[in-house]
Each structure stands twice: as structure tokens, then as C-alpha cells.
Amino acid sequence: MKKILVLLVLMGLFLSACNAIKVATPTPDLNATVQVMVDKALASQPTPVPQSTVIITVIETATPTIPDPVLAQSAAASKDDLVVAVAPVAFVEDVSHGAWTIQGTDRLADNSIVAGWLGRLKDPAPSLWKYFPNLPNPDVPDFRVVKCADNPEKDCVPDGMEYGTYSTPYCWQSPCDIPVGAWEYRYITGDYQFLDQVCKGDMSKGCMLVLINVMDQSYTWRNQYVDNGFTLRGRYFNGDTLEWGVWGLVSHGSASMLNMKTYSHPGELMNNGQPGNSGANCGIPGGCKSIDVTVIVHAGDAIIAQAKTVVKPTQ
């Protein structure tokens, strides 16, 4: 029995000694292990190329207002100056006579035909031109009449003008383009700005603009202004004697605007005078009291001369 106890004691001492000399196993650091793995993974990737930085700057701008053409036209017509200033045409020669103030550019000296008929242009006479100059005029016996080549039974006026196509309201969208055909005229009434020429009518004064293209090519004047006007276009029959056509056109047009009797054909009344004016020129039934007239002679885009006058019913 004693031997067994001694053996057990010896075994216990042996086990204690073994535990005393055992080497402690360290606890692994998981965070460190993960970091090492990440570092190795990153090291295996190619070195990234630096990317340029794009900076986008947003600039705030005001939203443009698109004007209503009718409102814009009304607004323009309410101003003393219809539109922005335009460089004036350079006139170098004054050939005024009678009631006409006539100025020419440096091109007039090279256009003897234009200079000739401008020098012969008569003062407007609305009382003598009840008929448009496409018909014989019994009040102007010197206005040439011949038998028509295509119909010998009819009378033609070789120095007159064609009553072509007309339109109203004309040029209602501002600005607008004004075409003038080759060897044609363009007649316009209403408030306007053409190049540097401005006319604004009122209840007493009306505005008339006549463009005459003496070139054998049509031309369009871009970005001009006419406030709801009337227009008429057509051919002139003889460029050598345009004093007759211009005289008749200006006089007849003025007669209608001044509320004088005019005829489209013999016996066919166009404007009957009282009690009302056809078209209410100058905005009133009695018509205008005077007409501001400007005639522009041009060859395509080249201005040759300008003739201005004021027409009254006493003429």
C-alpha cells in the first residue's frame, strides 16, 4: 500500500515538471495576417497610371427671349427711330431741281442714262395722274401712246410702268427682305427704314418709298424694315425715259394717299375721295395731308442716286 502511494506521488511530481517546462504557444494576430495578405495582393497589381483631372465649369447664362414678330414690329413702329443706326450712303453730287432734292453717289457720273432722266424728272402732279402709268393719260397728252405690238386694237404706253403684283400687309415680320426684280420697280407705302433712310408717318404725313433696279439682275435688300405697309412691283417699259414712269407712279400713288379720285381703268373708280379713303392712308378716312417721297435708283446692291420730295394735294 505504501508502495502505491509513493508511486502516485512520483507520477504527480513528474506531470508537474512537464507542465513547468512546456513552451507557451502564441495566439495568432488575425488583423496583422489580413494586412499582410492585402499588401501582397496590392504588390502583385500593376502600378496605376495617374489620370488627369477634368474640371467642368458651368456658366449660367440668361435664356434669350424670342420676340413675337408682330409685337416687335409694333414696338419698333412706336419709336422715333425705327431701327438701329446704319452707315449713311455717301452722296458726292447734288443735281436737285424744282421740287426734287436729288443726290448722286460717285456712280452717277458713270450712268449718263440715269443722270439724264433724273434731270428731266417733273415735279409730282397728283391732280394730273388719276390713272396709273400703265394706261394712256388724257390729262398728260405728251405721255406717249402707241398701238400695242401684240394687239394693234389696243393702246400701249411704251414709257410707262407695269401694274404688277401687290401685297398688303407687306413686310409684317421685322426685319424683312425686299426683293427688286431685274429692270423693275418696287413701290412701298408705310413706315419704313431702308438703309439709312427712315420715314415714320402720322395722321397728317404718309411715307412712300420707290426702289428702281436698273440692273439686268434681280437683287434682294436684306434686313430692312416696313411696318405693315403696302407694296406693288412691276416692270418699267423704257429705262431711257424713266422720268415718265417715275413721274406717273409717284403722282398717281400720292393722289390715292391724299384721298383724291383715282381710276384703275376708264370708268372704274379706284379711290373715290370723300367720304372715305381706300385703305385709310395715314390711318384716317380722310387720307394724308402730305406724302414724304423717296426714290432710290440702284444697280443691284450699288446705290446710284436718291430723289426726295414732299407731295401735297395742291400740286
List CB contacts of 315: < 8 A, sequence separation 6 or more: 99, 123, 124, 125, 126, 127
Structure confidence at residue 69 (pLDDT): 36
**For the chain, what are the domain ranges?**
91-311
Q: What is the per-residue pLDDT across 282-314, written as a single tens digit (0 to 9) for each?
A: 888 889 999 999 999 999 999 999 999 999 988
In 10 A of CB 111, how many CB atoms? 18
* Those residues with Cβ within 8 angstroms of residue 38's Cβ, 6 or more apart along the chain or in another chain: none
Q: Which three cell numbers stand for residue 37?
A: 495578405
The pTM (predicted TM-score) of the whole model is: 0.73
Q: What pLDDT, on a 0 to 100 scale, did the predictor assign at position 272?
A: 77
From residue 174, give the alpha-carbon distance in Å to each of 65, 93, 170, 212. 16, 33, 10, 22
3-state SS, residue 100 = strand
Q: pLDDT tens, 27-70?
A: 445 455 445 454 554 455 444 444 433 333 333 334 333 333 33
Q: What is the pLDDT of residue 15?
A: 45
pLDDT, averaged per 10 consecutive residues of the chain (315 residues), comes to: 45 47 45 49 46 38 37 40 71 97 98 98 98 98 97 96 92 88 97 95 94 98 92 97 99 95 89 76 89 98 98 88
Sheet holding 192-194: strands in order across? 176-180, 219-226, 192-194, 197-199
